Structure 1
Amino acid sequence: MRDRFEASLPARWKAPLVAGALAALSPVLLLAPRGVPAEAGRPLVSALVVVQAAALWWLGTRPTVVTAVAVVSGAALQGLVPAAGPGIALVVLSTFAWLRPARTSLWGAVGAAAVLGAAAGAGGHGVAAFLWPVAAVLAWSWGALGRAWAARRQAEARRAVLEERARIARELHDVLAHTVSVMVVQAAAADDVFDISPEKARQAVRSLEASGREALVELRRFVRTVRLLDEESAAVPGGDAPVPQPTLADLERLAGTVEAAGLPVRVVREGLEDADIPPGVALSAYRIVQESLTNALRHARASAAVVTVGARDGRLTVEVRDDGTGGGRSPWTGAGQGVAGMRERAALLGGTLEAAPDPAGGFRVRAQLPLEEPA
């Protein structure tokens, strides 16, 4: 799988990195170089320390070059001052493994192991010739592991955003499908009575305007939510205050809207007074009722519908029944997103949903949603 993770070092880290490297390497200057006169060895050690630390300035923009410089200067430093080892070369190698994909940084690990092992072997340190290559591989592994962990976190965050956008798309479909359906029915009713009862036509047009305004409010809220996701911000950027999400307390208002469009709806509540219903469960239940009533209004040729919402044994049960004949293609077997969205809502909460013709006549939608998050 292609590594799409983008890692970078902020520019503000340049100076602290260089200063920290100089502070970490400064004790090396107190050690006596081996194999060369002190007059020439100490300036050479100082130069290697400065080069290794100063190279970090470009670590964020040219990590490959900086890693090569750090490893080579670290090998030279190891040869002059064995007690100091390769300096900060392993730290740079680990950072390189975090900044670049494994297929690129692995060559750096191989090169570092070879160079540091050869430098230690040339100095006559057999154990060090084995340990430093192992340390180089471990340093690379640590950086690569950190990169994989950060990439997974980024992928999870991206997936959460995509899931949220999918949820918004479902909600937008639910809201607009319901509202536009009501508007179409209201417009048709106004047209039917326009000549014989202007007052009823005017009332239908007013209801049509109210439904249109409600659709615009919902649309603005969804657009605002998408903007928040794109900006990864928790604050609403200007505009009106966010519209509250509908809850089970809004079922009567929903029933009134559907009834105004021509389908009488009765809402029955059972055991909700003492139940603690999470907002997400309440919203999903409302949307399931909304979608069910929309389908009954548009497809079922129903003359009445009953919505029953009850809480018992840690579950919220939502049932919508109508007395329609269906007529033509059933809304429950169609290719739209409505029923699929309802089933997905229930499944995401750990619940179930059934949508099928009722043996007693009409159609029935029954959803069971857990009131507690499943383990």
Structure 2
Amino acid sequence: MDASTGQQNDAFAGEARGELSPRTARALWCGSAGLVIAALGIPVTVAGAEDGRRLIVATALVLVQTGALRWQTRAPVPVLVANTATGIAVWALLPAVTLTGALLAAQVTLCVLSATRARRVSLWALAAMCLPVPLAFGAGGSAGPAVYVLAVVLAWTLGQWRKAQQERMRAEMRRAVVEERARIARDVHDVVAHTLSVMVIQAGAADDVFSQRPDQARQALRDIEVAARSALGELRLTFRAFGPEAGEDATGEPRTPGPSLTRLDELADTVRATGMTVHVYHEGAADGLPAAVDRTAYRIIQEALTNTLRHAVGADEVSVRVRDEGHCLEITVVDNGRTAQGPSAGAGAGRGLVGMKERTRLVGGSLHAGPRPGGGFEVAARLPVERAS
């Protein structure tokens, strides 16, 4: 996880400095060099057909421009200066070639500079590219300067558009990374908090009956082992970004199933092992649920049961009701305990409730949690369901 995050951060930093991957830089060079050779090489060949010496010099200058484009992503400012100077030289040798055409390589470099460097630098480059405008008056009349300025501004604008596009993409990637980190944090919290709560209660029970009822103490220890193994399996599943096969882990063993309502009875059994009475009611099919809704429903129930174990004073019974209404899934978890008072009790429960509400919000649902008028605590969630037709 740390390595991948570091690589992503390095990639963001490289893009922010205007650095492109070698493959992208090479493709950009080939494309821009081909454009300059096709769009400028042909007019130069035609205009210099009657003067072989000028044609040779102009052709060499065009080749210098295309060669300089190889470094336009690494050092766009020097390349822009070189291509501007050689472009003006080509136009001076062959006036039949328009100034706009002669400076095509410089315009390409200006576009790259605008896309990869700070806006202040690109504005200075744009202003510098407008300096040769008076030269266009003698070659193209009143239309010459207008065409040249339009081409230069268009090249700069295209670079700015590309830069804005890249910034949006980087912002979306950063947001995706943040959301993924938050999701992993919620999953880890749910797995660890629930399992540790069960293990603490079972360990206390084993200690109480260790001498008088060793068989019951051994059963509690076995339950602790099962809970710990289950938690480790879920944590491996959470942190596994890639695997050899969809159904096996790196050792070739079957992967632990992910959080799903199909494992609700298994979840209830872990709570029952602590001595808590757990009633589970299913209404409706509750099958064919979207993966996000299925996972969210399981995590909400898991966190609600964990809060019952940790914070419901005197609770010995909890009921879980899952009702599938077709267009939405309703979840209700009710216990018969008293909500613990004091800062130590409220801190953990508050974080758990915040996590449940955030999970519900991400799937477009709603959640209510609070004490019941007649006693006990209730968690009620409503998750919209969009099944594939």
* TM-score band w.r.t. shorter chain: 0.7 to 0.9
Whole-Å separation in 2 of the counterparts to 1:330 and 1:310: 34
The answer as to whether partners of 2:301 and 2:333 remain within 8 angstroms in 1 is yes
Hey, what does 1:185 align to over in structure 2? Answer: 201
Partner residue of 2:380 out of 356, 366, 373: 366
Per-residue CA distance 1:202-258 (angstroms, 9 max, x = gap): 110111111111122222222223xx5xxxxx9999455653312111111111100
CA contact (8 A) 1:321 1:363 kept: yes
> Which segment drifts farther, 150-159 or 331-340?
331-340
Pick which of 197-206 and 329-338 moved more: 329-338
Distance 1:272 1:78 in 2: 78
Distance across 2 between alignment mates of 1:108 and 1:237: 55
- Pairwise CA distance, 1:136: 0.5
Does 2:38 align with 1:5? no
Matches of 1:66 and 1:271, distance apart in 2: 69
How far apart, CA to CA, are the structure 2 residues paired with 1:319 and 1:11? 55
Give runs of aligned pairs for residues 161-310 of structure 1, distance below 5 A: 161-225=177-241, 238-239=250-251, 242-272=255-285, 276-300=288-312, 301-310=314-323
Residues in 1 aligned to 2:59 and 2:102: alpha-carbon distance in whole angstroms: 15
Residue in structure 2 matched with residue 322 of structure 1 by the alignment = 335
Q: Contact (CA 8 Å) 1:355, 1:363: kept in 2 or not? A: yes
Matches of 2:344 and 2:283, distance apart in 1: 27
User: Could you tell me which residue of structure 2 aligns to residue 86 of structure 1?
Assistant: 103
What SS class does the counterpart of residue 114 from structure 1 fall into?
coil
Of the three residues 100, 122, 133, the one matched with 2:117 is: 100
Question: Partners in 1 of 2:276 and 2:285 — Cα distance?
Answer: 25
After superposition, the CA RMSD in angstroms is 2.8
Q: Which runs of 4+ in 1 moved over 6 A?
A: 234-237
d(CA) in 2 for partners of 1:279, 1:192: 42
Q: 1:57 aligns with which of 61, 70, 77?
A: 70
Using the TM superposition, give the Cα deviation of residue 39 of structure 1 relative to its aligned residue in structure 2, in angstroms: 4.8
2:163 corresponding residue in structure 1: 147
2:356 paired with 1:342: yes
Asked if the contact 2:33–2:69 (Cα under 8 Å) also holds between the matched residues in 1, the reply is no
Q: Say which of 38, 50, 58 aligns to 2:51.
A: 38
How far off its partner does 1:10 sit? 4.0
Q: Report percent identity of matched pairs.
A: 40
TM-score normalised by structure 2 residue count: 0.85
User: In the alignment, which residue of structure 2 is the partner of 1:231?
Assistant: none
> Normalised by the size of structure 1, how large is the TM-score?
0.88
How many residues align structurally? 361
Residues in 2 aligned to 1:338 and 1:165: alpha-carbon distance in whole angstroms: 17
In the TM superposition, what is the alpha-carbon distance from 1:92 to its structure 2 partner?
A: 2.1
Structure 1, gaps ≥5 residues long: 229-233
Gaps of 5+ in 2: 1-12
Residue 17 of structure 1 contacts residue 57 of structure 1 at CA under 8 Å; is this kept in 2? no
Q: Does 1:26 align with 2:57?
A: no
CA deviations on 1:315-334 (whole Å, 9 max, x unpaired) are 10000000002232499954
